[in-house]
Amino acid sequence: MPKVAYSEEERKQIRQALVTTGLELMTRQGIQHTTVEQIYTAVGISRTFFYSFFPTKEDLIVEMLYLQQPKLIAYAQSLMDDPELSWREGVRRFLYTCCYGEKNGIAVLSVEEQRLIFRRLSEESYRTFRDKQRALFGSLLECFGVKADPARIGLFTNLSLSAMIICRAIPETLPLFAPEAAQQTIAFQINAIVDCLEQFKHKAPADGV
């Protein structure tokens, strides 16, 4: 017989379990192939109880993305602290890890997933996501020794996400792209991002982006 009442602490633990389990499943088998039923069944609660935590699957996915943000910052910092890595190699390795996120336990949204998810979010949830996203990419810039201002954060966000999206999209979503050149394309993009950040390291924000 299912439990009728849960304490606030128990609800907090269940919510955390849902987010953690969702992240594990979605990084392993993809967002589109992960169902709400798989998540709440793995946690051991009912469908109805699941929706008392998250109104939609999309709200859970966004919460899942929040969960991995501090892990990404910690990973970036660990690369910067590694004495065996140069600055360029540390930044390059971080970007490669994110581009090939599903192989490294990192959830990266495809174009289709972004459209599906953010079309269903409330305006408040969307604003919160964008604020957290800016904070994440700003923290990453600071980890890399780059002074973060709004213009730089915006550019770094777009450049990084572009590389990740293209990496996932060739050849299924972008059939006119040359799949045999996919890896070289990603390598070029990553090197260009590293070059850009290296210039930022030696230029004050007041000097321009």
pLDDT in tens, 148-157: 999 999 999 9
- pLDDT: which is higher, 105 or 130: 130
What per-residue confidence (pLDDT) applies to 4?
A: 59
pLDDT over 60 at 52, yes or no: yes
Share above pLDDT 90 across residues of the chain, in percent, rounded to a whole number? 70
CA distance 141 to 133: 12
Give the pLDDT confidence of 121-138 residue by residue, as tens digits: 889 989 999 999 999 999
CA distance 93 to 99: 10
What per-residue confidence (pLDDT) applies to 2?
A: 54
pLDDT over 80 at 206, yes or no: no
- Cβ within 8 Å of residue 30, ≥6 positions away: 102
CA distance 43 to 162: 34
What per-residue confidence (pLDDT) applies to 3?
A: 58
pLDDT over 90 at 158, yes or no: yes
143, 77 Cβ separation under 8 angstroms: yes
pLDDT over 90 at 46, yes or no: yes
Whether the predicted model's global pTM rises above the 0.85 cut: yes
pLDDT over 70 at 200, yes or no: yes
CA distance 114 to 172: 16
Return the minimum-mean-pLDDT range out of 3-7, 24-28, 106-110, 181-185: 3-7
CA distance 65 to 132: 10
- pLDDT: which is higher, 4 or 199: 199
Go through the chain and tell me how many residues it has. Answer: 209
Q: How far is CA 153 from CA 3, 45, 156, 180, in A?
A: 46, 40, 5, 32
pLDDT (average), residues 146-165? 96
pLDDT (average), residues 61-75? 94
User: Mean pLDDT over all residues of the chain?
Assistant: 91
pLDDT over 60 at 111, yes or no: yes
